[in-house]
Structures are given as C-alpha cells and as structure tokens.
Amino acid sequence: MATAPADTTPGMDPAPKWITWLCNFALGGAILVVVVALGGLTLARYDIIGKLPGFMAFMRMLQPSAVIALLAFLGLMLTIWRKAKGRWKAAVALVLSLGLLLVMYAQVMMPGSSAPPIHDITTDMDDPPQFVTKDRPETSTGPFSIEEWRAFHSQAYADIQPIVISKDPAQVLGDARALMEDRGWDVDHVDAATGHVEGTAYAGYLKFRDDVVVEVTPVADGSSRVDMRSVSQVGVSDLGYNAARIKEFLADLQEM
C-alpha cells in the first residue's frame, strides 16, 4: 500500500512536535483573545450587554494578548532557527496579538494617561449648565470632592471657556440644535425661552452615552454667550472624550 508523502517543503524540516504545538497554541490563543475583545465591544455597542461589561471584556484581554504575543514571537524565532514549518501560524498570531495591544494602547491606555480621572466637563465650573430632563447632580465629581474635581478640571482643561457669538440667542440656539442633530446626537429637550438645549451624545466604538447641555444667554450688545457641559453616564475617567467634544462643538458653532 502506498504511503502519503511527508508534509515537507523544500528547505524546511518538519518542526518538532512541541514547536508545532506552540505555534498552534499561539494562533488559537490570538484568535480567541481577538474574538473576545472585539465581541465584547460589539455586543456592548448594540446594547446586547452593558457598556461597562463590554469594555471590561475588551480590557481583560490585555495580559492574555501580551502573553500570546511573546509565545508567537518565540514560535516564529524557533521555526526560523530550525528552518521548520509552521512559521506562518506564529506570524499570524504575532500580528493579531500585537494589533490588539496596539488598539488598546492607542484607544485607551494613551488617552487615559493624559486625561484626568473626571467625567463631567463644563465651560463654567462655578455655575455649570444644569439638565432639565436628566437626573444629574449639579456636578458629577465621581469619587472625588468638589475641590478635587475643580483642581483636575482647571489643570487639564483651562482652555475650555464660554464663547461669544455675534448673533441673537434664538439663532444661536437653533444653530446649536442643528449641529447636535448633524452629529447624530439625540436632542431630548429644547427651551427657546431659556436658551436651553440638551441631548445625548455617543463616544467611541462602544457608543458610550454622554449627556450634553448647551445654554445660550443674551449679552448686552446683542450677541450671545454659549456655555456647554458634557457628562459621561459611565465611568470615572472619560479618556478626554467630553473635553474634546466641547472644544469641537463650540468651534464649529462659532463658524456657523
């Protein structure tokens, strides 16, 4: 009876069983951590699971990804050194695990290291705009005192200030509402009499919900002062999303 030809490639020797096992394990592990991480994010994005559990499922893959990356690198070096087959599995595992680590670093770890641990950002710390339709405290300080929150806010976001627009308040309020809708935010409440509009914005791939309020008040010369507040519904640190949202929104509103 004829035997099947050996699974060999010219110039390559069959890898020892333990190297083959290592490459297979690294590839399987890399696929698993990517599926768990991205699966958690996607399920949370569409509210199949909670936002925080989905985020935690993603971040819990940090250490497994690092371990898999090391094993994949080791497997790749061994297959190259032994001129053995299986290096493509190790290479794919290395790319997947390092790719996931890169996403975690760029989207969470790097922003988290530069943003303060607060999630309530406003143009007016002394008299922040208040919500009408949402059950929010006057200031959401998280685990910190109001003095600590002020210190974090003033140190990191001293440039977030009210703006003055040379238009009447009614026109500015209409522009603010239109800009919110253009950004895909849910507009929950508009009060032309008080110059107040509030809604819900979304942050990141998970679509974390953030509460937003814009207040427009008249200035004596006929122009309008605009204040804004953006508050995350979840978390202590917002990774800088709320501050960036306020800066971008007010800059675009001023250009309308």
pLDDT, tens digit, 9 for 90 and up, residues 175-204 = 999 999 999 999 999 999 999 999 999 999
Last residue of a domain, one of 113, 146, 174: 113
For residue 32, give its domain range. 17-113
Q: What's the mean per-residue pLDDT of the chain?
A: 92
Please check the confidence at residue 156 and state whether its pLDDT lies above 80: yes
Do 131 and 88 lie in one domain? The reply is no
In a domain? residue 215: yes
- For the chain, what's the residue count? 256
The predicted model scores a pTM of 0.84
Do 187 and 248 lie in one domain? The reply is yes
Domain CATH code at residue 251? 3.30.310.80
Q: How far apart are CA 239 and CA 109, in angstroms?
A: 9
Do 105 and 185 lie in one domain? The reply is no
Do 138 and 204 lie in one domain? The reply is yes
pLDDT for 82-136, tens place per residue? 877 778 999 999 999 999 999 999 999 999 888 999 999 999 999 999 999 988 8
Do 105 and 37 lie in one domain? The reply is yes
**Please, which residues have CB within 8 angstroms of residue 31's CB and are 6 or more apart in sequence?**
96
Question: Which residue in 98, 48, 45, 33 sits closest to 70, CA to CA?
Answer: 98
Do 124 and 250 lie in one domain? The reply is yes
Instruction: State the total domains in the chain.
Output: 2
